[in-house]
Amino acid sequence: MPQKLLHLGDIRKLFCKDLEAYDPRIGIEVEKIGLYYEKSSPPTYGGRRGYLAVLGALYEQLGWEIVQQKGKQITSMKRGRAFLHLESDGRIELAGSPHDSIHDLAREMRIHQNEIAEISKIFGIIWIGCGYHPFVKSADIQSIRDDRKRIILDYFEASKKTSDNDYGLAWEMKASGIHVNLDFKDEEDFSLKNRVLMRISPIITAMFANSPFSKRRFSGYMSFRSHVAHNNSLPQFDIPQDLYESEFGFDSWIDHLMSLPLLMIRRGDKWLKPDCTFSEFLDKGFDGHSPCMDDFELHMKTAWKDIKSKSVIELRFIDSLPPHLISSVAALVKGLAYDQGNLNILDDMTKNWSYEDFMNLRQDVAKYGLQATFNGKPILNFAKKLIEMSKSGLKSNRVWDIENNDESLYLKGIEEFVFIKGKSPAEWLVENWTSKWRKSFYPVVDWLQY
């Protein structure tokens, strides 16, 4: 039986940290898009050439263990401290191990890249690192049979009636991102990291923008994934003004989570759909059921924010990328977030950035990438500053590899775009697609491919 949730103090314990146990590690979760190469169509989950066949080969040939399975349907696998999870259509996401160094994180990513590419080729499937499916409609993608995911899909379907778009469903079926997980040592550190990283999140989104295409056309946005996330009218994606302007401590974050609609609870094998917020569920229960800690932990998973936190701080505002740029994401974030001097500088630099500024900037970078401006200055200038600060942080907290390279080595991928090209990956893709590639998607897929 799950533990009964008696009061808010039980929830607060989820976030409390033992100072002596603080170990500043970094982890990364990588979503990606699968394609049948010959048709650029989405693979199915089942069948001889589906995602399940890929999972079976990973189990039989490469030592991945099955963690969750219902009948023949595999939904989660594990090897060491790394996991493979499935998106709603069966796409395979790597939830990597927490690492002390970017060197180890990059090695894990290279191993995943090589093995997932080689195994998938057997079945005619390739993978691309892109923030949004460039070819198909949501209706063209088949979802897997999973009761929890079905509730989420039904919620997104229903949201079309109260909004002027189907972005909720599109997010669930077609968006892919890179999530970075960070440790915090106490509530003050939690608060500072959340505040700073939330404020600068649009700049980092612009740097790594990589979702310019939808339905075989230029969408008009450099990060269409970001546009979809911030324009679907759903509270699970929203950063409200009171949260933005708060200290973003434990209580501010918990209060916000409590105010969100409760999408589901589980009792045994049954999934129930309460029509209330979690706060209302805590006060009144639902249909004879009292809230427990498992309910709140499940509830937190449906907060699809740019930043969400529990035992770690999870950054979710970055488009999926081709493998050679993924380590740049982790390196940039580590150099900023694990250097106290950088955090303090950024907190001071951004403390007067208003909520209106923040909301407008999110919209602008989704459309223009690094060509957006903020307070009359090019976002490109802010991006350069962040890279310089991160490099300084990584060099002052040196972690060496066997060839005496520190972790700033992994910034080279994004440095090439920001300092040399002066544009995001999406801007570079669109420029080439409209000119020398003559609107052919074959070079696009080749550049994005694992």
Kindly state whether residue 2 falls inside one of the protein's structural domains: no
Q: What CATH number is given to the structural domain containing 408?
A: 3.30.590.20
User: What is d(CA 189, CA 244) in angstroms, rounded to the nearest whole number?
Assistant: 16
Residue 23 is predicted with a pLDDT of 86
- Once rounded to an integer, what is the mean pLDDT over residues 97-119? 98
How much is the pTM? 0.96
Domain boundaries, position 180: 8-260+303-448
196-244 pLDDT per residue, tens: 999 999 999 999 999 999 999 999 999 999 999 999 999 999 999 999 9
Number of domains within the chain: 1
Does residue 293 fall inside a structural domain? no
What is the per-residue pLDDT across 142-193, written as a single tens digit (0 to 9) for each?
999 889 999 999 999 999 888 889 999 999 999 999 999 999 999 999 999 9
> How many other β-carbons are positioned within 10 Å of the β-carbon of residue 233?
15
Position 9 scores a pLDDT of 78
**pLDDT tens per residue, range 7-27:** 677 888 888 866 567 889 999
Q: Does residue 268 lie within any of the structural domains?
A: no
Between helices 187-207 and 355-368, what is the axis angle to 10°? 30
Confidence of residue 2 (pLDDT cuts 50, 70, 90): very low
What pLDDT, on the 0 to 100 scale, is given for residue 145?
Answer: 87
Give DSSP secondary structure letters for 197-218: HHHHHHHHHHHT--B-EETTEE
Is 1 a domain residue?
A: no
Q: Is residue 270 domain-resident?
A: no
More confident residue, 4 or 424: 424
Q: Where are the beta strands (DSSP E) in 258-404?
A: 265-267, 270-272, 307-309, 313-319, 373-374, 377-378
pLDDT by residue (tens digit) across 64-88? 999 999 888 999 999 999 999 999 9
Q: Answer whether residue 282 is part of any domain.
A: no
User: Binning pLDDT at 50, 70 and 90, where does residue 368 land?
Assistant: very high
Q: What is the CA radius of gyration of the chain?
A: 21
Cα(107)–Cα(92) distance, rounded to whole angstroms? 19
Q: Has residue 4 got a pLDDT over 90?
A: no
pLDDT of residue 366 exceeding 90: yes
Residue 3 lies in a domain: no
Percent of residues, the chain, with pLDDT higher than 90: 90
Considering the domain boundaries, does residue 291 fall inside one?
Answer: no
